Structure 1
Amino acid sequence: MSLPKAATLFLLFFLLLLSSTTTSNAHNITRLLAKYPQFSTFNHYLTTTHLASQINRRQTITVLALDNTAMSSLLAKQYSLYTLKNILSLHVLVDYFGSKKLHRISKRSTLTSTMFQATGAAPGTSGYVNITNLKGGKVGFGAEDNEGKLDATFVKSIKEIPYNISIVQISH
């Protein structure tokens, strides 16, 4: 009788342990962005291009989100879905950059890898983003292969789960 009781206790313990653990990638980018209707178009295209599932598989990630106005400007250029995916994958940094870290970049600038670089599809340095801490508390972003031009700036932090996921709004 002690064997079935021991087996039952073991099974109960195992189920309790299993139910109390969380996965390392407990964030869901589409759920996080769904709370912010001003990012609904960006959120839609993360799903359509399958970038959302790639983001969700990452343990440490930063998403440089575009609001609906910025997405409208991007969509007006009528890029193919493939090209749009590549563009949006440049907005996904494979490192954690919360608001504090962005505003405290040492040596004024840093170079970081994006999801585009991680796919292996990016030629040369086109999959890297230069982040520069500008004067007056501003932070600029630009593709590394863009001759140092900073095309976008930090607008605000949307959601931060320290060292796992950071979602920040950029200008475009």
Structure 2
Amino acid sequence: MELKASSSLVVLTALVLLFSSSSVSVNGFDIIKILSNHPNLLAFSDLLSQTKLNEAINKRKTITVLAVDNSSIGGLNDRPVDEIKNILSVHVILDYYDMNKLKKLPKTSSWTTMFQSTGNANDKQGYINCTRLPGEQFVFGSSVKNSPPVAKFVKSVFSQPFNISVLQVSQPIVAPGLGDVILPPPPPPYTPPPAMPPKASRKKSNASAPVAEGDDDEFAPSDSPIEAPIEAPAPEPVEAPAQSPPEPKDEAEAPAPSSASRLYLASGVALAGFTAMAFI
């Protein structure tokens, strides 16, 4: 009986040591395993392992991790391990926030981070502010006075209600006094779009244009591109032909006598003849 009890005690002790040294929490999540399914977050996962923060995360019952992708986390690689640990501790929130909970937050809220629990935080270094913007957008920054929001919410990576949530943000959040501020990566160089090929020449429509008689090319399409309408030249003023003055009539030319005039003359001649015969 004593041997059996001793064996049971050894097994129980081994199990206790196993669970106490394991990086997996009793809640059944492992932050490194979660991040391993997202290649763009592997650099962030490596830093959690180097600083042993993954073990502290897995021991928590309720946690939210603000992860940064590989292209934005590079500014931390060359810093001392303690400095990296302090900065990344600010990215571990001691509460659960998923997308549904973010939508219900007030305009600005303050979150407690794991760095606050270390006892090394001064002022409000252990807190970050979350600001909700229109269109379900969120920005994050240190709660230290005059600290601007520097990280934008990118997407929800993983959630296991109400134990662990992983949210991706655009860049690291460095509280004043914890290290040099990390600037966002520069945007890629501008590449002008490729030149568009010239559009096919449009055919000028002659449907509404008047057609002159005898024009054999009535329906022939024009090969010239459409241009601004050309104004027809104004017609030149036509001078009226100078009128020549009427030619003067010949003064010697007398108008022809009318029939009444001729009868009167004949009567006068006959009367004169009768008078002359009377005096004879």
Alignment TM-score > 0.5, same fold: yes
List per-residue Cα deviations over 1:46-82 (Å, max 9, x = no partner).
010010000000000000000100111333xx32111
Percent of pairs with identical residues = 39
Aligned residue in 2 for 1:136 = 135
SS in 2 for 1:115: coil
Shift of 1:103: 2.4
Aligned residue in 2 for 1:145 = 144
Distance across 1 between alignment mates of 2:134 and 2:148: 16
List per-residue Cα deviations over 1:2-23 (Å, max 9, x = no partner).
xxxxxxxxxxxxxxxxxxxxx6
Q: Which has the higher contact order (CA 8 A, sep 6+)?
A: 1
1:27 pairs with one of 26, 29, 51 = 29
Aligned residue in 1 for 2:13 = none
AA of the residue aligned to 1:119:
T
Structure with the larger strand share: 1
SS in 2 for 1:125: coil
SS in 2 for 1:26: coil
AA of the residue aligned to 1:56:
N
Q: Does 1:65 align with 2:64?
A: no
Aligned residue in 2 for 1:88 = 88
Q: Does 1:101 align with 2:101?
A: yes
AA of the residue aligned to 1:110:
S
Which segments of 5 or more consecutive residues in structure 2 lack a partner in the other structure? 1-24, 172-280
Distance across 2 between alignment mates of 1:110 and 1:123: 19
AA of the residue aligned to 1:33:
L
| RMSD of aligned residue pairs (Cα, Å) | 1.3
* TM-score, normalised by the number of residues in structure 2: 0.51
Moved segments of 4+, more than 4 Å: none
* TM-score, normalised by the number of residues in structure 1: 0.81
Distance across 1 between alignment mates of 2:118 and 2:101: 25
Aligned residue in 1 for 2:56 = 54
The number of residue pairs the alignment matches comes to 147
Work out whether residues 109 and 130 of structure 1, in 8 Å CA contact, stay in contact via their aligned partners in 2: yes
SS in 2 for 1:79: coil
Structure with the larger helix share: 1
Segment of structure 1 superposing worse, 132-141 or 39-48 = 132-141
Work out whether residues 103 and 139 of structure 1, in 8 Å CA contact, stay in contact via their aligned partners in 2: no
List per-residue Cα deviations over 1:96-127 (Å, max 9, x = no partner).
01012122212x11101101001111112110
Largest Rg, 1 or 2: 2
Distance across 1 between alignment mates of 2:49 and 2:145: 27
SS in 2 for 1:121: coil
